[in-house]
Amino acid sequence: MSLRTRIVLLVLLATLMPAALFGIHLFEDRRDSVAEATQSLNGLASYASADLLDKVRGTVQLLHGLSRAVDLDAADKARCSAFLSDVLSRYPQYTGLLTIQPNGQLHCDSLGSGRTLDLNDRAYFKQARGSTDPAFEVVFGRLTGIAVLQVAYPARDSDGKLKYVLLASLNLAQFNARIATSDPHSGLASVIWDNKGTVMARYPDGQPQKLAGSQLADSDLYRFASAEHPGTIAELPGPDGTLKMWAVSSLPAAAGSGLRITLGVPRSTLLARADQHLRQALALLAGVTLFAFAGALLFAEVGIRRQVARIMAAARRQGAGDAGARIGGPLPRGELGELMTTLDAAAVSVQAQQVEIEHKSRELQGTNRMLRMLSAINSTIVRVRNREELLSAACRIAVEEGQFAVAWAGLRDRETHQLRAMAWQGVEREYVDAVLRSAADHKGVVGIALKDRRAVVVNDVAAGDARLVMGKAAQELGSRSLAAFPLLVSGEVVGVFGLHSREAGFFDKQEMKLLDELAGDVSFALEYIEKSEKLDYLAYYDSLTGLANRALFHERFSQFLSLPGARDRKIALVLADVERFRNINDTFSRAVGDELLKQIAGRAGRQVADARWLAHISVDLFAIAIPDEAELEGVARRVERLHREIFGKPFQVGDTELRVAARFGIALYPGDGADADTLFRHAEAALKKAKAGGDRYLFYDPRMTERVAEKFSLESKLRLALENQEFVLHYQPKVNLETRRIVGLEALIRWQSPELGLVPPMSFIPLLEETGLILLVGAWALKRAALDHRAWTDAGLQPPRVAVNVSPIQLRQRDFVRALALAIQEGVAPPGIDLEITESLVMEDIDANIGKLQEVRALGLGIAIDDFGTGYSSLAYLAKLPVQTLKIDRSFIITMLNERETMSVVSTIISLAHSLRLTVVAEGVDAEEQAKVLRLLRCDQMQGYLYSPPEANVEVVKLLRRELEKPIRPR
């Protein structure tokens, strides 16, 4: 056993025994902390039951006080209900207050519903009617679905005769949530049970499912709650199956119908503090123990191991390649000092031999590095056919393979003759641009290399060579030497290639020989690329117009169709034939015809976003591709616009003004062909038919042309309808749910066509929006509604406000507010017009729309959000919108009687709107039962066939006259 091992064992024995004893004490302390945590949970449970009992007693006292109120003795139900409603507003812990007559009939309630309800079968009523004490019953509200504790109090006169029974519904779900959220424990769950094992309230409820109302008498948690073990804690699965630590408390049966409250916290949460204290104490113990162990070990070993560590450190440095590593002084006396001296002497001898080896190796490595760089660049020259790619690869290889600090290349621009940076590596472009600018007057290293057509070298950048224009910047890049090599093509200087090295004196005679060879190879590659480009241009481009020829266009088209996912895209191939072009050549000369083709190509190029999709494929024939256009009508519009923009104005060729036109043949992918050859054949066939039949353009399939013509025909009829005032407005009333009086009208557009009759809006409004006619028709509708409203006002009909729907296209216009003001200026002042805007439209660009709608409000117009519930409104933005009304989409109204979830959505929307002080209108109310439910949910207004369908102006006047004759019913 070594000395070091013995020392370690002794230190371990001295430090670990006290640590173990202290650890036992820490675990005993944790047991006390756990007991304190469980006592805290029991205290919270006792507080919850005491708090609920106080609320029950407070309810009894409240009912006792209310039994003396004069308003409750009145026979007027409305007065009684209003009084209870006012009381309820001050006591949010109740879901409702009501009075029951001795015969069991509902007299009045805080909701003011006016319902007729027989309550003789209610247990709390039976008990209260025959007693002078309050009665209690735990139930779920039939309308709200909320668990409540019903507290019934018999109100008797001075002779002891029962006047009525007062009932208060204490909201158990609200109480439960308040208890659960008031506790500092995170993850606290609270469950209120009745004496039959029913979950009356649970918080949180909804994950993974709502359990309120579930019968769980057989569950372990309820058996624990009903066993009455005050002060005990049990770890049991809750109603949702999650394991928690539970405490229980209960209410006396006389005051709470046997309610039990269970509070549960995950074990990790309940014991978090105790566990944290234990972890901190253990960490401290470990730290102290480790510190003591390290100190003792250091004290025991430092004297002997110090000199050994010096020897080992020097040996390691020498092993890692540091030939100059020495042990050095001071040296101890004795054998250890002699050993250190001998080792240092051996290291001196080894270092001298290593220096000689490294010198020879560097020479060989430099030669190999340059040869590898030349080989890599020559391999690139063989396969690259692009100048920028060639020079970028040469710079990259020079830095990576040649290990140069910086490499860059510049070429002369053919038009401006200025040097332009093409590639760089190890440096930013700004440096290269500055170097190339300095060569403009044949100054600097680059300027001299270009003027003298030879390589120029600076082997010591730091020496201040006069030829260095940017010597300081080169030093900052880490360069110690640099060289510039001119690039020549056909005997002319076309560019320059620059290299920087991190070593001074790098560019010796041997290096320069290889680098001159490299510059020659790059120059040869540039010359080859130039010649290849000339051949490629003649092979793939039309020399007259500069556009792609038939071969290149066909190749591009084929490549597009072969791309992954091309079958899911649409593309139209359009062939355009210039009419009577041969006559122009024969009449005015071929030079005039050539100039005309150039001008046609120029105009076409300005209309085609991507030049790859335009080609001159024969003497008088152009080809155009229109990608990603799915609709036939869109293709037709594009073709018409092309003809208008290219051939709509005359061409000026010298002193001759020429007016020409074109015919178009169109084939669509993939319907008319799955490959380029088939599409070209079909487009040519369509072009021949168009030329023979006199059509401006023709799709390959005649049926496609017919459908496009049909759509254009309908568009023409709509334009004519706007000119002939064939559009009319019908109005549908909005009525108050309580009084059934008209409180508003919605204007709905119709088309009274002489040929088609009364056309419904869905048959023509989408086309109006597609063509942009909706801007004119929408402005007409606003103006017509304003004029009608003014006419009704002048006739003394006291018309309500009229709501007009706004199209998305209208709202997106920058001058929307100004156009709106012009449209309604002939109406009454202040305006009697409101706007209805769909929820999804408002949320498209919420910040911009808020600004526009605020300007609309400043004009005196009201704003309603239409189809609410079908979009994705943000509540934060909804509160900021300057709106007054929410209209619930008819899809919710239709299904709410049959779907409980939809009913909840409608109820939530109404509550949300009222919390924001908005009026709520239900659309699509067609049945009386729907109206009754909406009235119970406190919806403000309804609109639908139950009251009236949309009516023409004449019928609206009759409705308004009848409205004036109706007596006003008090609410």
Span 370-388, pLDDT tens digits: 778 888 888 888 777 788 8
Residue 946 pLDDT > 90: yes
d(CA 332, CA 862): 99
- Whether the pLDDT of residue 353 is over 80: the answer is no
Q: pLDDT class for 850, splitting at 50, 70, 90?
A: confident
Q: What average pLDDT score do residues 91-99 get?
A: 91
Residue 324 main-chain phi, psi, to 5 deg: -90, 5
pLDDT higher for 607 or 943? 943
pLDDT given for residue 907 in this prediction = 94
Predicted confidence at residue 168, as pLDDT, reads: 93
Mean pLDDT, residues 529-549: 79
Res 859: pLDDT: 92
Q: Label residue 364 by pLDDT band (50, 70, 90).
A: low
Q: Given strand 492-501, what is the order of strands in its sheet?
A: 419-425, 406-412, 492-501, 481-489, 456-458
Average pLDDT score over the chain: 84
Share of the chain above pLDDT 70, in %: 91
pLDDT at 48 exceeding the cut of 50: yes
What's the pLDDT tens digit per position in 168-188? 999 988 888 888 787 666 678
| Strand, coil or helix: 726 | coil
Cα–Cα dist 885/913, whole Å = 8
374 residue type, one letter: L
Q: What is the pLDDT of residue 183?
A: 65
Assess whether the previous peptide bond of 330 is cis (omega < 30° from 0). yes
Looking at 482-486, 508-512, 537-541, which range is the least confident one? 537-541
Residues 660-717 have pLDDT tens digits of 999 999 998 888 888 889 899 899 888 988 887 788 888 887 665 555 566 677 778 8
- Average pLDDT estimate for 517-527: 84
Tell me what percent of the residues of the chain surpass a pLDDT of 90: 28
Give 4's pLDDT tier (boundaries 50, 70, 90): low
0.85 exceeded by the pTM?
no
Query: What digits encode the pLDDT tens for the residues 635-645?
Result: 888 899 999 99
Give pLDDT, residue 971.
47
Tell me the average pLDDT across 807-819: 88
Tokens coding 178? 């308040």
Q: What is the pLDDT of residue 800?
A: 95
For residue 530, name the pLDDT band (cuts at 50, 70, 90): confident
pLDDT of residue 782: 94
In this prediction, residue 302 has a pLDDT band, given cuts at 50, 70 and 90, of low
List the beta bridge partners of residue 109. Answer: 98
More confident residue, 762 or 206: 762
The Cα 894–Cα 925 span in angstroms is 8
> Which string of DSSP letters, residue by residue, matches 802-829?
EEEE--HHHHHSTTHHHHHHHHHTTS-S
For the cut 80, the answer to whether the pLDDT of residue 308 exceeds it is: no
pLDDT of residue 576: 93
Long-range contacts of 865-871 (CB under 8 A, 24+ apart): 865/836, 865/837, 865/838, 865/839, 866/805, 866/836, 866/837, 866/838, 866/839, 867/838, 867/839, 867/840, 867/923, 868/839, 868/909, 869/839, 869/905, 869/909, 870/839, 870/840, 871/838, 871/839, 871/840, 871/843
Residue 304 scores a pLDDT above 70:
no
What pLDDT score does 794 carry? 94
pLDDT at 228 over 80: no
What is the C-alpha separation between 969 and 803, in angstroms, rounded? Answer: 26
pLDDT at position 705? 53
- pLDDT-based confidence at residue 799 (cuts at 50, 70, 90): very high
pLDDT of amino acid 598: 92
Q: Does residue 16 surpass a pLDDT of 90? A: no
Which residues does 92 contact at the CB level (< 8 Å), separation at least 6? 174
- Check whether 903 has a pLDDT greater than 90: yes
Residues 398-451: pLDDT tens digits?
888 888 999 999 998 877 778 888 899 988 999 888 888 888 777 788 888 888
The predicted model gives 233-255 an average pLDDT of 82
- Asked if residue 801 has pLDDT above 90, the reply is yes
Average pLDDT score over residue span 338-361: 70
**pLDDT confidence bin for 744, thresholds 50/70/90:** very high
pLDDT at 758 over 80: yes
Q: What is the mean pLDDT of residues 909-920?
A: 92
pLDDT classification of 461: cutoffs 50, 70, 90: confident
